[in-house]
């Protein structure tokens, strides 16, 4: 009774509390998609993708079209063969990462719900609470400091600051936040916005201001792995590769070129199963792991949190995308994700999803 008998794909448009500015552009709405997969036993699995064209290369319309085509491949197939199913849809629709994240998650969620296990158990662990950082978008220094203060007062101990624009402006923003919340651990994410020289200049100047950073995430363009390696040699701060790592093969290249200290394995780029493979590559190379997100609601965020809890492999957790939503499928606030099963544990209100 584990055969897939029905599937659906629908847009999931979620307003943000306010615009989010990064080095890649500004987002005002999460234009996501929700995939459902139903088995013959009546079990339903849910998956979400959050296409962001400047990151994933997909529009919402393209992601929905791909997901609908992918679900046609699934009908009549058995969710117990989830690895084969995921492999088939990924081979048929390469590069459509958000669409495939949603489809893959729906498959895994249905499988785990049928077995009565949490998704974390599929990855070798249990659904323990997962603590995330809070991201501060590109803002004026005083505004960023105010948001950082509010985040710390809400219980967040780790903050990630978006950077990657003018180095001087970025330094002032980071310094203002460090002064406002001196006990918070800070990391910065340049979203490919700098050159190696600019990264060195930024790191030197924040150090001169007495600011310690946990890491600098993807300072240079994703396709410049050599430049990333050069940056790592010159900067006395751990470097994280994000947009440079979509696949396990990408992770191997970063490892071989000694281009990063940390790999950011986002499920929205790679999918749950490939993130498990990337985690194994990082562990084998003695690199730290970070998990990130797009602008998913609790469906996508809790999927990622289950992988974090299941593998026990991640040193840095950046799963705050749903914190930026004015409304979401499931209410979720504060620094801790309390996850549960079966599956990823989130059953969305489909009527509300339909309205969005």
Catalytic residues: 162, 266
3-state secondary structure 220-248: CCCCCHHHHHHHHHHCCCCEEECCCCCCH
- Coil, strand or helix at 306: helix
- Coil, strand or helix at 116: coil
Taking the CA of residue 136 as centre, how many other CA atoms within 13 Å lie in the half-sphere pointing to its CB?
A: 32
Q: How far is CA 255 from CA 121, 214, 260, 284, in A?
A: 28, 20, 7, 10
- Decide if 112 contacts 126 (C-beta within 8 A): no
Bridge partner list, 311: none
Q: Which strands, in side-by-side order, build the sheet including 4-22?
A: 4-22, 25-39, 44-49
- Residue 36: which residues within 8 A CB-CB, separation 6 or more? 7, 8, 44, 45, 46, 47, 106, 350
Which tokens hold the place of 7?
């599937």
Taking the CA of residue 270 as centre, how many other CA atoms within 13 Å lie in the half-sphere pointing to its CB?
A: 28
DSSP E strands, the chain: 4-22, 25-39, 44-49, 130-131, 134-136, 158-162, 185-189, 216-217, 239-241, 262-264, 288-291, 316-317, 336-337
Instruction: Tell me which residue of 269, 266, 297, 295 sits closest to 28, measured CA to CA.
Output: 295
- φ, ψ dihedrals at 294, nearest 5°: -100, -130
């Amino acid at each position: 009774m584990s055969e897939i008998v029905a599937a659906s794909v629908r847009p999931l448009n979620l307003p943000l509390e306010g615009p989010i500015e990064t080095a890649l552009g500004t987002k005002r709405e999460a234009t996501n998609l929700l995939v459902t997969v139903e088995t013959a036993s009546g079990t339903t699995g849910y998956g979400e993708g959050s296409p962001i064209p400047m990151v994933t290369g997909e529009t919402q319309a393209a992601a929905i079209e791909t997901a609908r085509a992918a679900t046609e491949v699934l009908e009549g197939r058995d969710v117990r063969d989830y690895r084969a199913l995921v492999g088939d849809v990924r081979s048929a629709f390469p590069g459509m990462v958000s669409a495939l994240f949603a489809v893959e998650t729906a498959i895994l969620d249905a499988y785990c719900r049928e077995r009565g296990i949490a998704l974390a158990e599929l990855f070798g662990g249990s659904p323990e609470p997962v603590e995330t950082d809070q991201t501060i978008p590109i803002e004026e220094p005083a505004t960023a400091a105010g948001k950082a203060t509010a985040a710390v007062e809400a219980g967040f101990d780790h903050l990630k600051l978006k950077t990657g624009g003018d180095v001087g402006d970025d330094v002032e923003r980071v310094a203002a936040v460090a002064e406002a919340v001196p006990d918070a651990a800070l990391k910065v994410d340049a979203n490919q916005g700098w050159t190696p020289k600019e990264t060195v200049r930024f790191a030197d100047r924040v150090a001169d201001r007495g600011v310690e950073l946990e890491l600098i995430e993807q300072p240079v363009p994703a396709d410049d792995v050599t430049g990333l390696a050069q940056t790592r040699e010159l900067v006395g701060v751990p470097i994280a590769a994000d947009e440079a790592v979509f696949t396990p093969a990408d992770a191997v290249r970063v490892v071989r070129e000694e281009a990063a200290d940390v790999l950011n394995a986002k499920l929205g780029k790679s999918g749950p199963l490939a993130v498990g493979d990337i985690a194994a590559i990082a562990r084998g190379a003695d690199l730290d792991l970070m998990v990130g997100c797009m602008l998913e609601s609790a469906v996508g965020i809790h999927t990622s949190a289950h992988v974090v809890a299941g593998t026990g492999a991640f040193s840095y957790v950046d799963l705050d995308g749903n914190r930026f939503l004015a409304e979401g499928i499931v209410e979720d606030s504060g620094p801790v994700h309390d996850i549960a099963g079966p599956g990823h544990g989130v059953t969305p209100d489909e009527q509300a999803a339909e309205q969005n």
